[in-house]
Amino acid sequence: DGGITQSPKYLFRKEGQNVTLSCEQNLNHDAMYWYRQDPGQGLRLIYYSQIVNDFQKGDIAEGYSVSREKKESFPLTVTSAQKNPTAFYLCASQNTGELFFGEGSRLTVL
């Protein structure tokens, strides 16, 4: 079954700790995206990558980092510099404009 797999689905961390969210796809798509979702604010773009070994900042990249060493994988690290990291994080890949989303990861910082 082709799709986007995000893990973990739920994650709890203490303030000051870095956290890495996994995103894997087997759709053979070149472009991948990370969005952050907060209630009433829609989806905000964190980072995106249109090809392996290249990525671009989105609208709210501060406090986040990514890597794209393989076509299938686009992990997101939420660093301790992110002031308000508690949110729902969505990964997606893109084909002919359409986005295909994973099931999301909910991060709660205690």
Partner 1 sequence: AQSVTQLGSHVSVSEGALVLLRCNYSSSVPPYLFWYVQYPNQGLQLLLKYTSAATLVKGINGFEAEFKKSETSFHLTKPSAHMSDAAEYFCAVLGGSNYKLTFGKGTLLTVNP
Instruction: Tell me whether residue 9 or residue 70 sits nearer to partner 1 (CB atom).
Output: 9
Q: Residue 8: count other Cβ atoms within 10 Å of its Cβ.
A: 12
Task: In angstroms, give the least distance from the CB of 69 to partner 1.
Answer: 21
Q: Tell me how far, at minimum, the Cβ of 102 lies from partner 1, in Å.
A: 5
- Classify each residue of 97-109 as buried b or exposed e, where b means 16 or more C-beta atoms within 10 Å of its C-beta: eebbebebbebeb
Place of tokens 């609208």: 59
- Give 23 or 78: the residue with its C-beta nearer to partner 1: 23
Residues 6 or more apart whose Cβ sits within 8 Å of residue 110:
12, 13, 14, 15
Q: What are the residues binding partner 1 (CB under 8 A)?
A: 4, 6, 31, 33, 40-43, 45, 48, 50, 58, 88, 90, 92, 94, 97-104, 106
Give 16 or 40: the residue with its C-beta nearer to partner 1. 40
